[in-house]
Chain A
Amino acid sequence: EAGVAQSPRYKIIEKRQSVAFWCNPISGHATLYWYQQILGQGPKLLIQFQNNGVVDDSQLPKDRFSAERLKGVDSTLKIQPAKLEDSAVYLCASNLGPEQETQYFGPGTRLLVL
């Protein structure tokens, strides 16, 4: 079974630029999560999708971050404009649905904002 795929793996941008990350969850997984992991901290949930609907985006900085999962499969997370403090690893995770405790994580995208 293929795991959660993310691209790019690394990205370096200057502040005020825009950036987008892509995630392809495990086939058949209805729930998709985006996390932000700042160096030295644990992952922090940004947004949770159930199929193509948003379940929880309470911790997403909506003035600059946006995410979509239009067809209920792939998802993109965008930052526009980026700030220095957005430097982090962005992790995507998925699971089968609300009754599945285990979240499967992708390798992450490491973002550096200069």
Chain B
Amino acid sequence: DQQVKQNSPSLSVQEGRISILNCDYTNSMFDYFLWYKKYPAEGPTFLISISSIKDKNEDGRFTVFLNKSAKHLSLHIVPSQPGDSAVYFCAASADVRAEKLTFGTGTRLTIIP
């Protein structure tokens, strides 16, 4: 049972344009959501998070949007840069301490120069 779904395995975006990565979840107990970025041969690194009491959180070029009624979140990267090319994982937790994370399957983002 895949509780966190990233339906796009891959995405290609021109440098300078907006990248939008999507994530859907089924467990209504999830209360906290995170995005991780992973380069080849490295472990995932934390990017940005959002609590269910918010619908938007920004950090520089990265913005995460949460639509609780649709059980959907998205990560926007503006403008996209070549260094953003990586696999992005959406993760969810049923507590704000985010101790037990359920990850999605990941989306491979390729930024085209």
Residues of A whose CB lies within 8 Å of any CB of B are 4, 31, 40-45, 48, 55-56, 91, 93, 98-108
A98 and B96 CA atoms in complex are apart in Å by 10
| A-contact bits for B32-44, CB 8 A (1 contact / 0 none) | 1010100001111
B44 with A98: CB separation less than 8 A: no
Q: Are B99 and A48 in contact (CB under 8 A)?
A: yes
Interface residue total, chain B, C-beta cutoff 8 A: 24
- Chain A contact residues: helix, strand, loop or mixed: loop
Q: How far is the CB of B41 from chain A (nearest CB, A)?
A: 6
What's the Cα separation between A28 and B30 when bound, in Å? Answer: 29
Contact with A along B17-61 (1 / 0, CB 8 A): 000000000000000101010000111111001000000000000
Q: How far is the CB of B2 from chain A (nearest CB, A)?
A: 9
Quick check: A45 and B100 within 8 Å, CB to CB?
A: yes
Q: Are A43 and B100 in contact (CB under 8 A)?
A: no
Given A42-B91, A99-B97, A101-B32: A4 and B43 within 8 A (CB)? Answer: yes
Q: 9 pairs across A/B with beta carbons < 8 Å?
A: A42-B89, A42-B102, A42-B103, A42-B106, A45-B101, A45-B102, A100-B97, A104-B46, A106-B43
Instruction: Give, as a whole number of angstroms, the nearest-CB distance from B87 to chain A.
Output: 10
Q: For B36, list chain A residues within 8 Å (CB).
A: 105
- The one of B4, B45, B46 in contact with A42, judged by C-beta atoms closer than 8 angstroms, is B4
* B46 x A102 contact (CB < 8 A): yes
List residues 66-95 of chain B with CB under 8 A from any CB of chain A: 89, 91
Residues of A within 8 A of B101 (CB): 43, 45, 103
**Residue from the list B4, B41, B103 in contact with A107, Cβ < 8 A:** B41
Q: How far is the CA of A91 from the CA of B32 in the complex (A)?
A: 22
Shortest distance from the beta carbon of B91 to any chain A beta carbon, whole Å: 7
Question: Chain A residues near B45 (CB, 8 Å)?
Answer: 104-105
Known: A41-B105, A42-B89, A101-B32. A93 touches B98 (CB 8 A): no
Bound together, the chains give a CA A4 to CA B42 distance in angstroms of 11
